[in-house]
Structure 1
Amino acid sequence: MSSSQHPPITSTELATLWMTYQEKTMILRFLDYFLKYNENEQQLLQLHYDRAVKSLDFIKTVFQAEGAAIPTGFTENDVNTEAPKLYDFMFDLMYFRLMSQIETGLFALYSNMSYRNDIRQFFKRLTSEAQELYDQSTHLLMDAGVISRPPYVSMPKEVHFVKDTNYMDGLKWVSEKRSLNTIEVSLIQHAVDTNLVGMQLMIGFAQVANEQKVRKYFVKGMELSKKIETELGDVLRHSYIEPPATHAGKATTSTVPPFSDKLMMYTTSLLSTFGLGSNAIGGAFSLRSDLPVKMLQLGKDIYNFAKEGGKIMIQHGWMEEPPQIEDRNQLTKG
């Protein structure tokens, strides 16, 4: 690509490409490790490994044409492929299913933030690839009986409109909460489902982290994921809906780290950001008044957890700084 073929990239495009580079190099390190132990889905994982490499090559080409520094991201030094298996049966697919959900949202957003045609097409392709990975991993996990479908309900036979403001009640102790509607069930179900995977991820991370402070942080992550799963699961049970559960994807007893503390901290930061966004959506679309309050309280816990993680990363020199806007105040001081 020559600089004459395209206009210069904007600050927004620089930011989204930079963030994608961080995320894709992280994905490669997990694939490096999971490819060693996965015997059944080697072709699927290798396909997405090759696609991640292709995406990184595109970003490097754009940055080189713009004279921008190539980010560090995560390298082979952040993974130990000789480490014993840290997670058991089907966890790799559970992890990539979760990551495909994150990527679908991120890349669709990045596409809508892009102006240059080649970059718009790049993020359009990444969105499609993330959706394909979600389809493939969901299909395989359901076939294996590892994940279950959300609950079924009786189909509505006629259209109704809400006529009583009590429909939005939920905070009064003296009144019985109405049963959940299907929108609320879907959002709570999704939050519980993702936190089940997140909890196992945190358990494994806590077992293998090198730094004691990092290990304690991941233990907090275990406890937070369990709290979210328990409290939201109780909301489902109140309407006689059993929350999702799985027998697979548990952490093993290994204490040998396959990943660097830096990589594990970044992964946790990414999942925390995803959790904050999911909680915000869950609160915004819930009409029963107790649910936005609960989502807000859990969101505050996630925010505080993410903030603590950011401080740990900075203290250890693990947080790569995004490209900065020029400091005009400093430049004009002469």
Structure 2
Amino acid sequence: MSPAKNNMSFVELAASEVSNLWSSYLKSSMDLRLLEYFYASTENNEIKQVIEKMLNQSQDNLNELKEILIKENLTLPLGFTNEDVRVDALKVFSDTFILYFCFDLTHLSMSTYPTALSDCARNDVRDHFQKNIAFSVKIQNEIVDLMLSQGVYLKPPHVAIDSEVEFADSMTYLSGFFGGSRPLNTAEIANLTRIVHRAQFSKMVFVTFSKLAKTKELKQHFSKGRDGIEKVLDSLQGVLDKENIPISASGDYKISDVEMSPFSDKLMLFFVNTCLGIFCFAMISQAMTSSLRTDIVSKLDQIADDMKKYYGQGLLLAIKENWFEQPPQAVNRKV
């Protein structure tokens, strides 16, 4: 390593780097607790091997992040500890649903780590996110291959594609509220399908968490999330049904009733606010920017507004329960 590159590790961390390291620490500690329970409760050996790799990666991440933050004299986040998981709790999720869960965790990594990398300049911080991106790509490929081999991968629909090059010849290409709207293009089909598949997974998470939560307030919050997801499914599946575009659904979103929750209420709310919340916003934003039919944009805009209100309530609930860790902030120079 050249002296110039080595010295970059001693440059003071920028605000974006501190923020990304802090968020990565919280995510890795959440992943670790989820994966500890999944590893203990999974019976399928192939799925167990995938979980073990993700588990080891999460632990390595935490060790590396601790080293960087301590070196910078920054307070370590509390994150999630052994108190937030019961690895000896009875099995709640089917092995296939656990595999979907792991797939979802890699999706969040693939949507957050590249952004974090682009915000960072110091070599040790960039190395951390580069390693995580590489691992996320590798493990996601393994998960997809495993899903395909077990026949549980949710494939996007196949559609007949016009082979001729065409250009839109009028403003009616953007219409959709009234009769005569054009067929969906492939970008719109892909994005709507992605959101519907994610909504199907999210719905079952909300159903499960509403049963596992200890407090009445959190049970009601998760139930409200389930109702909101139902509206999303009804709205977007209606568009696809009208176009006679079939969409696959899992037949193994199975959960078992248990008396003891494997996860703390704090952990479940954090997962909902981050994995379900942040990633859903990213998917909807992508869908809105690539959709050119006004009826679809309107539906997505309404969904985004509803989600902002719901996840805002989730953040307030976390603050009320004293579960929200404040990210590092600048010194108040106004005093």
1:234 maps to what in 2?
Answer: 238
1:247 maps to what in 2?
Answer: 251
Q: Secondary structure at the match of 2:334?
A: helix
Question: Greater CA deviation, 45-54 or 209-218?
Answer: 45-54
Does the aligned pair in 2 maintain the 1:168–1:289 contact within 8 Å? yes
1:132 maps to what in 2?
Answer: 138
Going from structure 1 to structure 2, the CA distance change for 1:167 and 1:279 (only over 3 Å counts) comes to: same
The 5 A counterparts of 1:93-108 are 93-108=99-114
Match of 1:60 among 66, 70, 75: 66
Take 1:120 and 1:89, find their aligned partners in 2: how far apart are those partners? 34
**Aligned-partner residue type, residue 328 of structure 2:** P
2:192 maps to what in 1?
Answer: 188
Does the aligned pair in 1 maintain the 2:109–2:136 contact within 8 Å? yes
Residue 123 of structure 1: how far off its partner (Å): 0.6
Going from structure 1 to structure 2, the CA distance change for 1:249 and 1:148 (only over 3 Å counts) comes to: same
Does the aligned pair in 2 maintain the 1:203–1:251 contact within 8 Å? no
Residue 121 of structure 1: how far off its partner (Å): 1.8
2:151 maps to what in 1?
Answer: 145
2:330 maps to what in 1?
Answer: 325
TM-score of the pair, normalised by structure 1: 0.94
Residue 148 of structure 1: how far off its partner (Å): 3.1
Going from structure 1 to structure 2, the CA distance change for 1:119 and 1:32 (only over 3 Å counts) comes to: same
**Aligned-partner residue type, residue 232 of structure 1:** L
Per-residue Cα deviation, 1:120-141 (whole angstroms, up to 9, x for no partner)? 1211111121122221112212
1:295 maps to what in 2?
Answer: 300
Does the aligned pair in 2 maintain the 1:276–1:299 contact within 8 Å? yes
1:278 maps to what in 2?
Answer: 283
Take 2:154 and 2:17, find their aligned partners in 1: how far apart are those partners? 38
**Aligned-partner residue type, residue 88 of structure 1:** S
Q: Paired residues, what number?
A: 327
Going from structure 1 to structure 2, the CA distance change for 1:221 and 1:82 (only over 3 Å counts) comes to: same
**Aligned-partner residue type, residue 282 of structure 1:** A
TM-score of the pair, normalised by structure 2: 0.94
Per-residue Cα deviation, 1:242-300 (whole angstroms, up to 9, x for no partner)? 22311013222224211000000000001112112211211111000111110010011
The 5 A counterparts of 1:83-102 are 83-102=89-108
**Aligned-partner residue type, residue 198 of structure 1:** S
Take 1:212 and 1:254, find their aligned partners in 2: how far apart are those partners? 17
The 5 A counterparts of 1:200-239 are 200-239=204-243
Residue 27 of structure 1: how far off its partner (Å): 0.4
Question: Greater CA deviation, 281-290 or 242-251?
Answer: 242-251
Per-residue Cα deviation, 1:104-160 (whole angstroms, up to 9, x for no partner)? 010000000001012112111111211222211122122222233211122432211
**Aligned-partner residue type, residue 76 of structure 1:** N
2:22 maps to what in 1?
Answer: 18
Take 2:259 and 2:181, find their aligned partners in 1: how far apart are those partners? 45
2:77 maps to what in 1?
Answer: 71
Does the aligned pair in 1 maintain the 2:9–2:123 contact within 8 Å? no
Take 2:260 and 2:168, find their aligned partners in 1: how far apart are those partners? 56
**Aligned-partner residue type, residue 329 of structure 1:** K
Q: Is 1:36 aligned to 2:69, yes or no?
A: no
**Aligned-partner residue type, residue 46 of structure 1:** E
Take 2:255 and 2:304, find their aligned partners in 1: how far apart are those partners? 26
Residue 44 of structure 1: how far off its partner (Å): 1.6
Give unpaired runs (5+ residues) of structure 2: 1-5
Take 1:147 and 1:230, find their aligned partners in 2: how far apart are those partners? 22
Q: Secondary structure at the match of 2:166?
A: coil
Match of 2:167 among 150, 161, 165: 161
Residue 5 of structure 1: how far off its partner (Å): 4.7
Q: Secondary structure at the match of 2:10?
A: coil
**Aligned-partner residue type, residue 138 of structure 1:** V
Residue 67 of structure 1: how far off its partner (Å): 0.6
